[in-house]
Amino acid sequence: MNGIRIALVLTVLWAAALGRSAAEEPRVLFLTTSEQFSHGPIFREDGQPGVADVALAALAKQMDLPYTSSKDADLINAAELAKYKLVIFYTQGDLTKPNSTETSVMEDTGVADLIAWIKAGGGFIGFHSATDTFDTPAPEPTPYIQMLGAEFRTHGSQFEGTLKVVDAGHPTMAHVPDGWKLHEEWYLFQEFNKKAMHVLALLDPGEAGRKQEIYQIPPYPVIWCSAVGKGRVYYNAIGHREDIWTNKTFLKSAADAMRWALGEGPTSAEANFDAVVPPDAPEVE
């Protein structure tokens, strides 16, 4: 009888341990809602996921992370966010308004819920047009833009630019080579949160970029991170082109960013804008 009781107790403890493990297992949510313009890497055709979705799903699988992808912006609320440890945005526009994919919209409290979730320890990653989300309608940047670090302002024609890594020791930069050349649609920004953002890499437009007047400028931030409360925020302006999402170097850097945002390694997110960005770097008006 004692043996049976011991076995039952061990079974209950084992089941409880499994339950805790499942509940505590980091989960990833990839949101791809677009109010107006849906980028190629997240465009779904005939129900098939876009190349960015395929790439991140594969990375999550390699990292043994349960993964959910959705265009339903109403998932960004306190109750749903409690299910996740990492949220990734490849989004565009005001997510509380009707969108181009005719999917559910975010509640008015969604941004506040998202920021509270990050402050409590959540990890957030924004790719490319995440900075073209919740644009600033007034002189002051929106809470979302303040959290993310900057706001998209404009871009020119695509060209091959060069990344200048300014913090090679940061965990998210482990696979990003200094001098990495990429043909891409390069955003220009405004509303930099200089007091909070930790710049990781600058774009040098170089000779190719400076053929366009708007890129006749010094190097400026295109990859950065920050600490928001107990949480971590990372942004990468790269990701417009579909071929980027099959680039091995980019995918390695995305995996590094995911691990960092999930809390692996040191935060290393002290504000450094003034120390690493040329003083005349542009904020486009």
Q: Tell me: the pLDDT tens digits for 233-284? A: 999 999 999 999 999 999 999 999 999 999 999 999 999 999 999 886 555 4
Residue 14 confidence (pLDDT) above 60 = no
Ranking 46-50, 189-193, 198-202 by mean pLDDT, the lowest is 46-50
Res 97: pLDDT: 93
Instruction: Indicate the pairing of strand 151-155 with strand 67-70.
Output: unpaired
Angle at 45 between CA 44 and CA 50, to 5 degrees: 40
pTM listed for this prediction? 0.89
**How big is the CA angle at 60 (ends 166 and 186), to the nearest 5 degrees?**
40
Q: Which helix (H) or strand (E) holds 215?
A: none
The SS3 assignment for 269 reads coil
Give residue 93's region: left, alpha or beta (phi > 0; psi -120 to 50): left
Residue 196 pLDDT greater than 60, yes or no: yes
Strand partners, 198: 225
Give the C-alpha distances (Å, rounded to integers) separating 222 from 13, 149, 183, 200. Answer: 49, 11, 14, 8
Measure Cα distances from 248 to 244, 253, 258 in Å: 9, 9, 15
Report, as an integer, the average pLDDT of 6-31. 49
* Token representation of residue 110: 């969604």
216 vs 206: CA distance, rounded Å: 9
